[in-house]
Structure 1
Amino acid sequence: MIANQFREPTGYLDFARFGPPSNAVLAERTRLTEYSAVAGPTTVDDLMRQDLRARAAVARLCRTDTDHVVLLPNTSTGLFQAAFGVTGEVVVSAAEFPANTYPWSRAAGVTPRWVRHVTEIPEALTKDTVAVSLSAVDFRTGFRADLAAMRETVGDRLLVVDGIQGFGVVDEPWEVADVLVVGGQKWLRAGWSTGFMVLSDRALERLAPVLSGWTGAEDPGLFDDSVHEPAPFAAAWSLTNLSPIAAGALNTALELVEQASVKQIEAEISAKIDELGDVIQRAGGQIVSSFEPARRAGILAFTIPGRPAETVGAALTAEGITATIRPEHVRLSPHVSTTADTVDQLSIALKRILPTGRSAGEPRRSVAGVLETLIPTINGLGSALGPGTEVVLHDLSKLPNSIVAIAGDLTYRSVGGPMTDLLLGLVRRGTTQDLTNYETHAPDGRPITSSTVFIRDPDGVAVGCLCVNSESTSASPPAQDVETFPGDVDTLQRHLVERAVADVGVPVSLMKKAHKSQVVKVLDDAGFFLIRDAVDYLAAELKVTRYTIYNYLNETRGPSPTQP
């Protein structure tokens, strides 16, 4: 890998703010600066070729060509270029980083249509909408937009994407964007004053190059006292020559990304996010950023309950951890060069924040050990209880495939199977009180008596549960099932959706927005969205986009900075 290219100090976890440049980038900047210091007849022309090298690297990573790429000094310049070239209604989230809100507010020809979150964009589109602008990765929550799905939703309108928090970090179909703007000072680690904009054919046709300088003209080298027409390709959005030293640095940074491969970089950063998330959760912290692998990039935001983010941030700084501190949370952002020592340093720092001097996660590890210890006893307990009885041990950290041990086949389930719909709903609502001797039915229709006892950590948090099911001797079995016992996650998903649709009482083909929103609310209460890929599954069932599902969730849960 390329980790040996970097030398940021242990404890640095702030790449979403600034990425310390690589050794190769520093060497290239030095080489080009020294070359300029001994200028000769060909020096300037040689240096200016760095622009083409950098554009070629961008084109390779974006699956386009150099005619569709123009170098820029930062993201803001590109977004202003896009905004001043548009006339009409533009849908944009007010929660975007200011670089993606000010341009649309300042451009005289634009009528901004503000939404609260990127997931609300589909519902905000009107016949007058000419463009949509969004970030590939949210700077606060780390939510990674589904660009391919958004492209389908936007249709023939212009799709403007701020890619600074995702480019070079996640493998996205960047070519679906009509305007892609990226600054190189964060995840690309190219240093300040580096960046680029990629324009699609649609953008070249529809955007007016209002801010087009002499280097954006058809004949930039022809000085005939005339103002020439803008170039017929992306160069039209060039204002003047940029620093060839910055262009060389950007090219070197992009070549490092190519050398490592974006997929490998994404995999390594994702693994580090998992490590950091584990440290935070073991310390009693709560992750408030998008944590589903498909919907995250390199940002991990968290809180420590009962402690202001400023207090947590100050303590981390005192322990040598570099992070971004916001009023609502602490934001961490690792890269491939983040070391195990940095992860350990974070763990130590979080332990020292707690008044007991130990991590709140230590008791949880002991409880996890108890669950592991119980696994071998399940078969013995099942044998002791005799035929017609089933004993099941669930580990709630493995939702929804929570069964870690089972003795008996009363419900035809096995290790790795999911919990029941009843148990999933209880966990979702936090109502994890013990249930004893309630009547329900096995999958084959036999009446059974069930009891569920929750296993808790020293803080009273449920971490597992022991369930005992036995053939019922009741003279009056229940008229309807209290819970169902699915054999796999697909069956659980299907059952929950079918039940929610039945509760609403309207066939999907006849549902209006209010009906579908109610289905989402019912499923949210039932714990449906604790299941991996639940949003995609439900979107297909309700025949809407995944963004619409997120929008319904936002509406039913109410506004929250932790929503994806």
Structure 2
Amino acid sequence: MREAFGATFDVPDGYLNTPSIGAPPTTVAAAVEDTLVRWRRGLDTPADFDGAVHAARVGFAQLVGVPADRVAIGASASQVVSMVAAGLPEGARVLTAEREFTSVTFPFAARPGVSVDEVPLSELPGVLTGYDLVAVSVAQSADGALVDLDALREAAERVDVPVLLDVTQAAGWIPLDLAWADWVACAGYKWLLAPRGVAWLAVHPRAHERTVPVAANWYAGEDPWDTTYGLPLRLASDARAFDLSPAWLAFTGAAVSVPYLAGLDLTEVREHCVGLADGLLERLGLPGRGSAIVTIGSDDAAQRLAAAGVVASVRDGKVRVGFHLYNTADDVERVVSALA
């Protein structure tokens, strides 16, 4: 067991795979286990999960700095991004970063008549003119590189280009204030330490009419229990109009993990995570990058780390590790020793 930031984590030494799957606090796993028992015994009704959905929605809103009535719930990053892609007109041009995670780009690339251009991440804020949308991750999945949010906001406002930000690899370790963005998408099973099957889309009021509820359903009604049968279409007036009917078990976990993270001092969390990541880079003779995600490009790094008990992943041809709440200097030492 590891104790960190007021929580207990049953995570093994050397677990550095948060960019793929976050390891939950024991309280989160216990909440899901309790729900499994109740499910097996037939003790819950659908309405019993509304409180969990609400708690997770409010927690996510706090993490990204938006009002809760702007937040829709979903199941995956690509699913919520698809509602933005569906609202683009024929001939729209979308700008993104090179090697961007495909859950961000594929929903747009799959739209007939919509073109998607890639540019280096560092150049993206400077080339927005002529585009109908920019879609980019705050922290890149492949290597943890961070977009310059201040520069992107200034450029987007200057040339009036809508912005979609994916915070799947950022929310939970970076303090975020993204009320200015048109859309903010996120999946919860990585840094937000929730089960897979939970996602969110924050929708700015000015972008509401340009967001299409491609999976419109009963749960997206103003009163979900009054929209279970019959026409006409009657969706909620706020971002709940874009809700997907929730995955109950997943949301019982998110209802614990997301408010927990929202209640932490995220500046302290970032200092902890980045301190470990940059400390590893320094030990490897490399400059710090200010990200919780580190990539290692040596030919046999994956094999050597696995042999040392380090749980990592390989992305875009490099070993990727990530440092979260439960990681310590001992994890850094384990990586350094394996690669020495």
Aligned counterparts of 1:258 and 1:322: Cα–Cα separation in 2? 26
Checking the alignment, whether the CA contact within 8 Å between 2:142 and 2:316 is kept in structure 1 is no
The code of the aligned residue for 1:55 comes to R
Superposed CA offset, 1:438-459 (max 9, x none): xxxxxxxxxxxxxxxxxxxxxx
Distance 1:327 1:245, change over 3 A: closer
Aligned to 1:321: 310
Q: Does 1:103 align with 2:107?
A: yes
Superposed CA offset, 1:167-196 (max 9, x none): 011112222221111111111111211221
The code of the aligned residue for 2:335 comes to L
Aligned to 2:84: 82
The code of the aligned residue for 2:162 comes to L
Distance 1:223 1:215, change over 3 A: closer
Which protein shows a greater Rg? 1
Deviation of 1:94 after TM superposition, in Å, equals 4.0
Checking the alignment, whether the CA contact within 8 Å between 1:147 and 1:173 is kept in structure 2 is no
Three-state SS of the structure 2 residue aligned to 1:26 is helix
Three-state SS of the structure 2 residue aligned to 1:149 is helix
Checking the alignment, whether the CA contact within 8 Å between 2:19 and 2:141 is kept in structure 1 is yes
Which of 228, 232, 236 is 2:237 aligned to? 232
Distance 1:215 1:327, change over 3 A: closer
Q: Does 1:22 align with 2:25?
A: yes
Calculate percent identity across the aligned residue pairs: 25
Aligned to 1:197: 201
Deviation of 1:123 after TM superposition, in Å, equals 4.2
Larger RCO: 1 or 2 (CA < 8 Å, sep 6+): 2
Distance 1:124 1:275, change over 3 A: closer
The code of the aligned residue for 2:109 comes to S
Aligned to 1:163: 167
Aligned to 1:185: 189
The code of the aligned residue for 1:131 comes to L
Aligned counterparts of 1:223 and 1:256: Cα–Cα separation in 2? 33
Three-state SS of the structure 1 residue aligned to 2:235 is coil
Using the size of structure 2 for normalisation, the TM-score is 0.89
Deviation of 1:223 after TM superposition, in Å, equals 4.7
The code of the aligned residue for 1:259 comes to G
Moved more, 140-149 or 219-228: 219-228
Q: Does 1:255 align with 2:259?
A: yes
Aligned to 2:120: 117
Q: 5 Å matches for 1:37-436?
A: 37-39=40-42, 43-87=45-89, 88-108=92-112, 110-112=114-116, 114-127=117-130, 129-155=131-157, 156-218=160-222, 220=224, 221-223=226-228, 225-239=230-244, 241-281=245-285, 286=286, 291-293=288-290, 297-304=291-298, 308=299, 311-326=300-315, 328-351=317-340
Checking the alignment, whether the CA contact within 8 Å between 1:300 and 1:331 is kept in structure 2 is yes
Aligned counterparts of 2:253 and 2:271: Cα–Cα separation in 1? 25
Distance 1:7 1:228, change over 3 A: same
Checking the alignment, whether the CA contact within 8 Å between 1:168 and 1:262 is kept in structure 2 is yes
Distance 1:229 1:108, change over 3 A: farther
Aligned counterparts of 2:262 and 2:315: Cα–Cα separation in 1? 33
Deviation of 1:227 after TM superposition, in Å, equals 3.6
Three-state SS of the structure 1 residue aligned to 2:66 is coil
Aligned counterparts of 1:108 and 1:173: Cα–Cα separation in 2? 33
The code of the aligned residue for 1:108 comes to P
Aligned to 1:12: 15
Which of 31, 34, 44 is 1:31 aligned to? 34
The code of the aligned residue for 2:235 comes to P
Checking the alignment, whether the CA contact within 8 Å between 1:276 and 1:343 is kept in structure 2 is yes
Superposed CA offset, 1:268-323 (max 9, x none): 10111132123322xxxx56xxx343xxx31112334xxx2xx2211111111112
Checking the alignment, whether the CA contact within 8 Å between 1:195 and 1:250 is kept in structure 2 is no
Distance 1:47 1:107, change over 3 A: same
Checking the alignment, whether the CA contact within 8 Å between 1:11 and 1:322 is kept in structure 2 is yes
Aligned counterparts of 1:327 and 1:158: Cα–Cα separation in 2? 29
Aligned counterparts of 1:170 and 1:137: Cα–Cα separation in 2? 9
Deviation of 1:130 after TM superposition, in Å, equals 2.1
Superposed CA offset, 1:469-495 (max 9, x none): xxxxxxxxxxxxxxxxxxxxxxxxxxx
Aligned counterparts of 1:38 and 1:200: Cα–Cα separation in 2? 41
Three-state SS of the structure 2 residue aligned to 1:246 is helix
Aligned counterparts of 1:33 and 1:177: Cα–Cα separation in 2? 37
Aligned counterparts of 1:347 and 1:124: Cα–Cα separation in 2? 39
Distance 1:52 1:20, change over 3 A: same
Deviation of 1:76 after TM superposition, in Å, equals 1.4
Deviation of 1:3 after TM superposition, in Å, equals 6.4
Aligned counterparts of 1:258 and 1:123: Cα–Cα separation in 2? 32
Structure 1: gaps spanning 5 or more residues? 352-564
Superposed CA offset, 1:187-230 (max 9, x none): 11112112211111121133233432232244542355214143
Using the size of structure 1 for normalisation, the TM-score is 0.55
Structure 2: gaps spanning 5 or more residues? none
Distance 1:141 1:103, change over 3 A: same
Aligned counterparts of 1:21 and 1:211: Cα–Cα separation in 2? 29
